[in-house]
């Protein structure tokens, strides 16, 4: 049965009362606002200030405290360069392609360390990068003030993101558990040439090259020219970044379920 809607506030016959009713309602609110406005005096009162949260919420007459709210806010990123393993997962997971991996000092010259550089002109603050970060070194903070005078200032270099990290702002406490049924890196054995590229570039060093026996030459058969080693992936250390797949020259590594 459909709801019978009736006007709860029937207009009174007296036209003066028509105006008086809403004005009385507004006057009640006006009396309340003399003690404390519903708004927050922004530059002087800041919601992310932990001491101020409860005070503001209670004083302005709001029914809920804002205290617990702000820690998981998705603002400017904080990057801990020291623990970044250059796995590229943040770059891969970015829907807006605003993350670029740039070289930072600290790596060895052959394999330089790369950390994310974020263009906040493109960023949509979706948080997929910090969700994907396996080490928890890229997180989002409560900083939201981003106005700049030059467009190039919107690009935050890894060092600048590291400075945000050093300010110890409240960071997003929610860490998502990795899914139980993730894919593993599998090897297509006949294609592998044992070139060591995957083990060399693995950010977590979870690939080891194991010796395999060189087969005996049979009559009429040629032994393929290759290094007699093959990669073995340690699944518990693997962060599923896919670097090994992209560097493999023979495309012999692929995603799949380990039997």
Select from 179-187, 203-211, 216-224, 225-233 the region that touches another protein (CB under 8 A): 179-187
Does 246 interact with another protein (rule: CB under 8 A)? yes
Does 220 interact with another protein (rule: CB under 8 A)? no
Among 153, 156, 162, smallest CA distance to 106 is for 162
Tell me the CB-side half-sphere exposure of residue 164, using CA atoms within 13 A: 23
Residues 45, 52, 59, 72: which binds another protein (CB under 8 A)? 72
Q: How far is the CB of 102 from another protein (least distance, A)?
A: 17
Residue 192 is encoded by which pair of tokens? Answer: 């592998």
- What is d(CA 112, CA 176) in angstroms, rounded to the nearest whole number? 29
Residue 116 is encoded by which pair of tokens? Answer: 């994310």
Helices (H), 140-213: 158-166, 197-201
**What Å distances lie between residue 227 and 51, 182, 212, 213, 224, CA to CA?**
63, 30, 9, 11, 9
Residues 189, 225, 257, 258: which binds another protein (CB under 8 A)? 257
Q: What single-letter DSSP state applies at residue 171?
A: B
Q: How far is the CB of 64 from another protein (least distance, A)?
A: 4
Q: How far is the CB of 198 from another protein (least distance, A)?
A: 12
Does 190 interact with another protein (rule: CB under 8 A)? no
Give the DSSP letter string of 18-41: HHHHHHHHHHHHHHHHTT--SS--
Residues 69, 81, 101, 102: which binds another protein (CB under 8 A)? 69
Does 41 interact with another protein (rule: CB under 8 A)? no
3-state secondary structure of 63: coil
Does 19 interact with another protein (rule: CB under 8 A)? yes
Binding residues for another protein (CB under 8 A): 1-3, 5, 7-12, 15, 18-19, 21-22, 25-26, 29, 38, 62-66, 68-70, 72-74, 88-89, 91-93, 95-96, 124-128, 131-132, 140, 172, 174, 176, 178-183, 240-242, 245-246, 251, 254-257
């Amino acid at each position: 049965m459909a709801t019978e809607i009736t006007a709860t506030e029937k207009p009174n016959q007296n036209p003066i009362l028509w105006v008086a009713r809403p004005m009385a309602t507004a006057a009640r609110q006006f009396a309340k606002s003399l003690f404390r406005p519903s708004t927050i005096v922004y530059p002087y009162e800041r919601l992310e200030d932990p001491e101020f949260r409860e005070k503001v919420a209670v004083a302005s007459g709001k029914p809920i405290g804002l205290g617990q709210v702000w820690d998981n806010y998705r603002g400017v990123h904080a990057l801990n360069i020291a623990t970044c393993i250059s796995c590229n997962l943040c770059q891969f997971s970015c829907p807006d392609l605003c993350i670029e991996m740039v070289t930072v000092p600290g790596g060895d010259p052959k394999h330089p360390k790369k950390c994310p550089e974020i263009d906040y002109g493109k960023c949509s603050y979706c948080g997929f990068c910090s969700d994907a970060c396996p080490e928890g070194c890229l997180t989002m903070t409560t900083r939201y003030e981003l106005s700049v005078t030059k467009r190039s200032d919107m690009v935050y270099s890894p060092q600048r993101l590291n400075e945000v990290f050093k300010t110890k702002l409240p960071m997003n406490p929610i860490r998502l558990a990795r899914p139980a049924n993730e894919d593993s890196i599998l090897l297509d054995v006949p294609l592998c040439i044992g070139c060591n590229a995957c083990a060399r570039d693995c950010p977590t060093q979870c690939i080891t090259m194991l010796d395999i026996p060189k087969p005996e030459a049979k009559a009429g058969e040629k032994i393929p020219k290759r290094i007699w080693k093959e990669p073995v992936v340690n699944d518990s250390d693997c962060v599923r970044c896919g670097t090994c797949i992209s560097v493999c020259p023979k495309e012999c590594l692929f995603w799949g379920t380990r039997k």
